[in-house]
Amino acid sequence: MEFELWMLLVFPLFFAMGWLTARMDLKELLSESSLLPRSYFQGLNFLLNEQQDKAIEAFIEVVQVDPQTIELHFALGSLFRRRGEIDRALRMHLNLVERADLEADKKKQALFELAQDYLKAGILDRAEQTFQQLLHSPYAKESVEFLLEIYQKEKDWLKAIDMSRRLVDLTGQSHDKETSAFYCELASYELTTGRDEAARVHLGQALEVNPGSVRAVIMLGDIEQNAGNHKQAIDLWKRIEQQDPQYLQLAADRLLGAHRNLGLEADGIDLLMEYQKRYPSQDLVDVLFKAVLQKDGAEAAYQMVRNELHRNPTLLGLDKFLEARLLEVTEKNRADVEMVKKLVHQRIRDLAMYHCSSCGFRARQYYWHCPACHGWESYSPRRSEENGGRI
Ligand SMILES: [Zn+2]
């Protein structure tokens, strides 16, 4: 690009425009700041010097001197809540809610903040009442989410189901898995009070919402089994294969037990062997090992575990193989096998865990409701090694 004379004029022009704009902004800022009390700037200074406590005191003074500083009220209120000073947050937000001159939208914002203070303070009934007042406000979605959290804490599953449905209407996102889990919780409660019929109804509702609910099918089978209807229980648990065969192992013990009750133990073992062929899983091998050992003795159990290890070589399988080996080993070699078994067992403890796919929490037992993140059905039915070896 060639240099032209007119460019000489453009640069000063840009410079002048920038200077003018800066002056105008500065003027505006100065006129605005002259309206603010001195404590406001003191507060800012304290904040910049990372003296939070002094900053808060200064800002409180601003709020007392100039009640119009609504945004500062909100900022301070939520700061108090974050710092765990719930009493102060509550006072700040209650003061806003009770002000007669507050615009309607600001009043709703204050109520929303107040409800969160109650929740954080553990005053669940007040939090619930306050969030309920916001169900038709711009804070509806967040309020429903908080209410859902409250009803789960209170184990009020009917209300949790209602909120879950509202959330679907508000967000368009599916909550079927959670809603179905709430029905299972309702059923579980009914079972503890001996109301099997009511439990059956809720489990039917769980399956209506989420036909893939393995938990509902397992629980329905349990009701039949307890009522002595072993055949019906078996038919129900067999449905898991269509839902998701990875979960079959969770019903393996039950299937075997129901077959035994019918005097058909061999059929039960055959069924599990068939599942193991199609969907290999160490949990199935464990159940089969016990069953074969009890029915056909140590040699048969050892051969079964050995075959499965060949077919599906995993460390969990090796651990089981060594356990089976100990049943057959001669006295002379026993100490060696025991030593190897102990070593392998120690090294693979983490591989034998179930883990939550949402938060990664690991547990020896299977959970439908994660005790760490409170996610529903977030656990894979496979143990870590079989689930990609994540430890
Ligand atoms: Zn979790």
pLDDT digits (tens, 9 = 90+) for 47-98: 666 677 777 777 777 666 666 678 877 888 888 898 899 998 998 898 888 8
- Range of weakest confidence among 100-109, 153-162, 215-224: 100-109
Cα(131)–Cα(358) distance, integer angstroms: 27
pLDDT tens sequence across 121-158: 999 999 999 999 999 999 999 999 999 999 999 999 99
Query: Residue 63: what pLDDT?
Result: 66
Return the higher-pLDDT residue of 229 and 91. Answer: 229
Cα(379) to centroid of ligand 1, in Å? Answer: 8
**Which residues touch 387 (CB under 8 Å, ≥6 apart)?**
355, 380
Reported as a pLDDT band with limits 50, 70 and 90, residue 46 is low
Cα(106)–Cα(91) distance, integer angstroms: 16
Query: Residue 26: what pLDDT?
Result: 43
Cα(380) to centroid of ligand 1, in Å? Answer: 11
Cα(365) to centroid of ligand 1, in Å? Answer: 13
Cα(334) to centroid of ligand 1, in Å? Answer: 41
Residue 379 reports pLDDT greater than 80: yes
Cα(388) to centroid of ligand 1, in Å? Answer: 18
Query: Residue 5: what pLDDT?
Result: 56
- Dihedral Cα 3, 9, 14, 16, nearest 10 deg: 150
Cα(355) to centroid of ligand 1, in Å? Answer: 8
Cα(101)–Cα(99) distance, integer angstroms: 6
Cα(220) to centroid of ligand 1, in Å? Answer: 26
Cα(371) to centroid of ligand 1, in Å? Answer: 7
- Range of weakest confidence among 19-28, 211-220, 304-313, 373-382: 19-28
Query: Residue 353: what pLDDT?
Result: 86
Most confident of 41-45, 58-62, 364-368: 364-368
Cα(29) to centroid of ligand 1, in Å? Answer: 49
Cα(165) to centroid of ligand 1, in Å? Answer: 23
What single letter denotes the amino acid at residue 123?
Answer: I
* Residue entry with tokens 């404590």: 39
Cα(370) to centroid of ligand 1, in Å? Answer: 5
* Residue entry with tokens 């399956």: 207
Reported as a pLDDT band with limits 50, 70 and 90, residue 308 is confident
Cα(270)–Cα(304) distance, integer angstroms: 12
How large is the average pLDDT for residues 323-330? 82
Residue 28 reports pLDDT greater than 70: no
Cα(381) to centroid of ligand 1, in Å? Answer: 14
Query: Residue 56: what pLDDT?
Result: 74
What single letter denotes the amino acid at residue 93?
Answer: H
Cα(170) to centroid of ligand 1, in Å? Answer: 25
Nearest by Cα to 355 from 344, 371, 343: 371
Cα(33) to centroid of ligand 1, in Å? Answer: 49
Cα(9) to centroid of ligand 1, in Å? Answer: 66
Most confident of 5-9, 117-121, 379-383: 117-121
Residue 40 reports pLDDT greater than 80: no
Cα(293) to centroid of ligand 1, in Å? Answer: 36
Cα(378) to centroid of ligand 1, in Å? Answer: 6
- Dihedral Cα 240, 217, 150, 104, nearest 10 deg: 80
Cα(279) to centroid of ligand 1, in Å? Answer: 26
What are the residues facing 376 on neighbouring strands?
Answer: 369
Question: Which tokens belong to 33?
Answer: 């700041």
In the chain, DSSP assigns E strands to: 354-355, 362-363
Cα(164) to centroid of ligand 1, in Å? Answer: 19
Residue 6 reports pLDDT greater than 60: no
Residue 252 reports pLDDT greater than 90: yes
Cα(250) to centroid of ligand 1, in Å? Answer: 19
What single letter denotes the amino acid at residue 95?
Answer: N
Q: Would you tell me the crossing angle of helices 70-82 and 86-98 to the nearest 10 degrees?
A: 150
Return the higher-pLDDT residue of 349 and 188. Answer: 188
Q: Which CA distances in Å does 109 have to 102, 116, 133?
A: 11, 11, 12
Give the distance from CA 38 to its chain's centroid: 47
Cα(212) to centroid of ligand 1, in Å? Answer: 20
Own/partner long-range contacts of 226-232 (Cβ < 8 Å, ≥24 apart): 226/196, 227/196, 230/258, 230/259, 230/261, 230/262, 231/258, 231/262
* Residue entry with tokens 């140590």: 298
Q: Residue 187: how many CB atoms within 10 A of its CB?
A: 26
Q: What is the DSSP letter of 354?
A: E
Cα(339)–Cα(273) distance, integer angstroms: 30
How many percent of the chain have pLDDT more than 90?
A: 50
Cα(363) to centroid of ligand 1, in Å? Answer: 10
Residue 32 reports pLDDT greater than 60: no
Cα(185)–Cα(308) distance, integer angstroms: 37
Cα(384) to centroid of ligand 1, in Å? Answer: 14
Cα(344) to centroid of ligand 1, in Å? Answer: 28
Question: Which tokens belong to 167?
Answer: 């959330």
How large is the average pLDDT for residues 200-216? 97
Q: Would you tell me the crossing angle of helices 315-328 and 331-347 to the nearest 10 degrees?
A: 160
What are the residues facing 369 on neighbouring strands?
Answer: 376
* Residue entry with tokens 């507060």: 43
Question: Which tokens belong to 131?
Answer: 């969030």
Is residue 191 within 8 A of residue 199, CB to CB? The reply is yes
**Maximum pairwise Cα distance, the chain:** 105
Query: Residue 339: what pLDDT?
Result: 84
Residue 319 reports pLDDT greater than 50: yes
Query: Residue 35: what pLDDT?
Result: 60
Query: Residue 30: what pLDDT?
Result: 45
Is residue 371 within 8 A of residue 378, CB to CB? The reply is no
Query: Residue 34: what pLDDT?
Result: 55
Cα(367) to centroid of ligand 1, in Å? Answer: 10
Cα(239) to centroid of ligand 1, in Å? Answer: 27
Is residue 324 within 8 A of residue 289, CB to CB? The reply is yes
What single letter denotes the amino acid at residue 17?
Answer: M
Is residue 42 within 8 A of residue 33, CB to CB? The reply is no
Cα(70) to centroid of ligand 1, in Å? Answer: 39
Nearest by Cα to 145 from 170, 108, 177, 110: 170
